[in-house]
Structure 1
Amino acid sequence: MRGFVFGLITASALVLAADKSSSGPDEVSLPENYQDEFLNYLDVDHLDRKRVRKMYVNREAHAAAVAGEDLPDGTLLIMEDHDATTDADGNLVWGDDGRLIALDAITNIFVMEKNAAWTTANGHWDYAWYLPDGSPRPDASFDGCFSCHANRADRDFTFTYWKFVSDRKR
């Protein structure tokens, strides 16, 4: 009888494990045409890095997002890095709007995706890092993504988008 119960428990555990999708950067894809299809909800000037970060969210998730609640399954957040324009002496150049001027060239693309089938250290979020040509960065490490976003558990592990959703509802 004991062997039968152990076998049942083991079989149940295997069935449950088979139901879960594995996550990982290979599961987080870079959507084609995201610059046209997604909402560019924020640009962030990083003075210390001489960089401009453009933040995007897929429109379906944006339409379903509710202030104060976890973001909907299927949310895709993209952070696109651009070097800022500098003068001949390496000083930052400012636009008429008081913001840094981003160069057209992309230096890095980071994708954060929420999938309810995944279980990660950050809830159901996983991360990927892409090169400007859209190929995955081969030497990418995601420990920094997980550790940095971990301190935003109360904002569903996000920084700027959670705040954006909260602000738009006021």
Structure 2
Amino acid sequence: MTRSLLAAVVLLALGAGAMAQTPYRPGPHNIVLPADWQARFIRTITVDSAARRIIRTIYVNPEAFAAARPAQPLPDGTFLIMADQRARLDADGTPLRDSVGRFIPEPGWIAIAAQQRNRGWGEGYPPTLRNGEWEYARFNGDGSRNNGPVEACFTCHLVTRAQQDFSFGFWDFVQARR
């Protein structure tokens, strides 16, 4: 076999392997929470929720942080994490505040939600749920998967943020960087 024929056979085999990959199936199983997200991802927004007595922090992967541009859809590969902590409460159940008026968090996460965008994701969802090319997943505070439903994520983002690429805090953060 000639060298060029051998190279063609190898390329053909590699291409066939790429085509044999598992096709996309909608669902939260597509999102895997990175083990290093707390060290690697960038914190963009922190919100105190008085009604829920939590502190909600939004993180984004550094690649999306660098590539995001105002008035443009967020880039493929954007991975957003929303991590919640309980606020420390006084004896009456009122959140305690620090010297600048922010809630003081209890240690540890109580819930983690993820939103990730990749080319082709979202196909297979009906128009009543489809959020562009986004998927959503839920995790427990320790990072283990929470198999609870994610339909509320789709509904909320579709109804309130379709014009902002189905994203809340990070979209707003990017727009403010103009």
* TM-score bucket of the superposed structures, by smaller chain: 0.7 to 0.9
Question: Unaligned stretches of 5+ in structure 1?
Answer: 1-17
Partner of 2:104: 101
Counterpart residue type for residue 87 of structure 1: D
Counterpart residue type for residue 46 of structure 1: S
Matches within 5 A, 1:9-158: 21-119=24-122, 120=125, 121-138=130-147, 140-151=148-159, 152-158=161-167
Give the C-alpha shift of residue 89 in structure 1: 1.8
RMSD after superposition? 1.4
**Alpha-carbon contact 1:45-1:51 (below 8 Å) kept:** yes
Q: Distance in 1 between matches of 2:176 and 2:107?
A: 29
Counterpart residue type for residue 154 of structure 2: F
TM-score by length of 1: 0.85
Q: Distance in 1 between matches of 2:34 and 2:26?
A: 17
Q: Distance in 2 between matches of 1:97 and 1:52?
A: 15
Question: Unaligned stretches of 5+ in structure 2?
Answer: 1-20
How many residue pairs align between the two structures?
A: 151
TM-score by length of 2: 0.81
State the secondary structure of the residue aligned to 2:120.
coil
The list of structure 1 runs, each at least 4 consecutive aligned residues, that deviate by more than 6 angstroms after superposition, is none
